Amino acid sequence: MIETGATPHPTGSAFLLAQLGGHAAERFAERIAAQDLTPAQAGVLRLVGREPALSQRDLAARLGASPSRVVALVDGLEHRSLLSRTRSEHDRRVHELRLTADGQRVLSVLAAVARAHDDEICGALDPEERHQLRDLLGKVADSLGFVPGVHPGYRHL
Amino acid sequence: MIETGATPHPTGSAFLLAQLGGHAAERFAERIAAQDLTPAQAGVLRLVGREPALSQRDLAARLGASPSRVVALVDGLEHRSLLSRTRSEHDRRVHELRLTADGQRVLSVLAAVARAHDDEICGALDPEERHQLRDLLGKVADSLGFVPGVHPGYRHL
DNA sequence: TATTGTTATACTCTATAACTATA
DNA sequence: TATAGTTATAGAGTATAACAATA
């Protein structure tokens, strides 16, 4: 992985943000590798867990990925019995995605992993500072149009 | 691009950090594409600008990339006359890397782009909040062992 | 005709291993 | 023998385009 960026950190936070974000993503990937999951797969479980009966097309939009990519992602998770595809009764073209009982178990493990991950990343901050950081990041995210669970590029669909 | 992650944002900042960091990196990449540069190339210019006569091997360590990858990166920049390779007189195996005059010009353009980029990302924050955010991120970065200009994986060399 | 999911294909990024030239 | 750089090769990840089933 290559760190992008400009000068060390003169006045700006954007470079530091990209650096830390990259590190956080990398560490999270390492952690979930223990459950044999990639970040993309974890994203699928998270989104399907939140929105049962999601179609592959809508999932692709929320992930910011192509529909063909979702096929492979769902194939793998279905093969491991973590989620199921069922044809919609209203429109037999669409596949409704749902977590299996195993899938829900894995999802709750992922939530615990995320908490531990968060403690690792923010461990240097006291509770008040963590709260401040979350508020500031939330403000930035809002201003950039981030909607939880929806890829920014598709937030208008 | 796929957003990794766990729950929306319950208590933790790590997911938001990864999300925003990814967005910031992506937007920076779009901006420098106007100069026909990739983030990796920008990183090379930045590091060689800071440490003239850097060897390709040391550059690879600082980037967190493989030496073979650096070959292609340097090839491209040398071909565009943004940096030069000269064999070291002390050890004729090593190539000393330096920015050309054009390379330094491009580097200063990159610095301006980084400032604009930063304003875009942090535009929703007032000056005091931006200062707070930078301090908090700096604290997190320090606790994780980040050294400016050196990839974390290689900070001990 | 338009849309969902699928397959085939190709492209980009990147690392590992073998090679060369120096030391 | 060991090291700096290079080349050859292969793998991962991903998108685009063509296709089949359904609307």
Give B39 CA → C14 C1' in Å.
14
pLDDT-derived band at B157 (thresholds 50, 70, 90) equals very low
Strands A95-99 and A83-87: antiparallel
What secondary structure does DSSP assign to B66-107, as a single string? -HHHHHHHHHHHHHTTSEEEEE-SS-TTPEEEEE-HHHHHHH
Please give the Cα distance from B75 to B23 (Å, whole number): 29
Q: Is residue B48 over pLDDT 90?
A: yes
The structure's pTM equals 0.89
Task: Indicate whether B2 pLDDT > 80.
Answer: no
- Check residue B54 and report its DSSP letter: B
The tens digit of pLDDT for each residue in A84-128 reads 999 999 999 999 999 999 999 999 999 999 999 999 999 999 999
Q: Which residue has the higher pLDDT, B154 or B2?
A: B154
pLDDT tens string A67-80: 999 999 999 999 99
Nucleotide nearest to A1 (CA to C1'): C14
Which stretches of chain B are DSSP H helices? Answer: 14-33, 39-50, 56-63, 67-79, 101-122, 127-143
Provide the edge-to-edge strand list for the sheet that holds A95-99.
A54-55, A95-99, A83-87
Give the nearest partner residue to B125 out of A15, A140, A146, using CB atoms: A140
Which pairing describes strands B95-99 and B83-87: parallel, antiparallel, or unpaired?
antiparallel
Separate counts of helices (H) and strands (E) for chain A: 6, 3
Residues of chain B with C-beta less than 8 angstroms from the C-beta of A8: 148-149
Question: Å from B1 (CA) to D9 (C1')?
Answer: 27
Strand C lies under 7 A from the Cβ of residue B72: yes
C-alpha distances in angstroms, A46 versus A56, A110, A140, B94? 14, 9, 23, 49
CA angle A118, B1, A24 (to 5 degrees): 20
Whole-number average pLDDT of chain B: 90
Alpha carbon A96 to chain centroid distance?
20
Residue A17 scores a pLDDT above 70 = yes
Rounded Cα distance between B108 and B125, Å, is: 26
Q: Could you tell me the sign of the dihedral formed by the alpha carbons of A38, A40, A45, A50, in that order?
A: positive
Provide the mean pLDDT of chain A.
Answer: 91
Q: What is the pLDDT of residue A8?
A: 41
A117 CA to chain B: closest CA distance, Å? 7
Measured between CA atoms, the residue of chain B closest to residue A153 is: B1
Nucleotides in C strand less than 7 A from protein CB:
3-8, 13-18, 21-23
- Using one digit for the tens of pLDDT, what is the confidence trace for A42-58? 999 999 999 999 999 99
Mean pLDDT, to the nearest integer, of B93-104? 98
Half-sphere exposure of B56 (CA within 13 A, CB side): 21
How far: B94 CA to C7 C1' (Å)? 48
Average pLDDT over residues B73-89: 97
Mutate to test the interface with A, among B51, B66, B144 (most CBs of A within 10 A): B144
pLDDT mean over B41-63: 97
Residues found in chain A: 157
Is residue B7 within 8 angstroms of chain A, CB to CB?
Answer: yes
Q: What is the pLDDT of residue A152?
A: 79
Q: Is the CB of A56 under 7 A from strand C?
A: yes
Nucleotide nearest to B69 (CA to C1'): C14
pLDDT in tens, A34-46: 999 999 999 999 9
pLDDT of residue B61: 96
Nearest to A42, CA basis, from A121, A95, A99:
A99
- In chain A, the residue whose alpha carbon lies closest to the alpha carbon of B117 is A14
Q: Would you say residue A157 has pLDDT above 90?
A: no
Residue in B closest to A38 by C-alpha? B4
* Residue showing tokens 């990398």: A26
What does the angle CA B18 – CA B21 – CA B22 come to, to the nearest 5 degrees?
Answer: 85
Residue window 26-45, chain B: list those with CB within 8 Å of chain A: 28-29, 39-40, 42-43
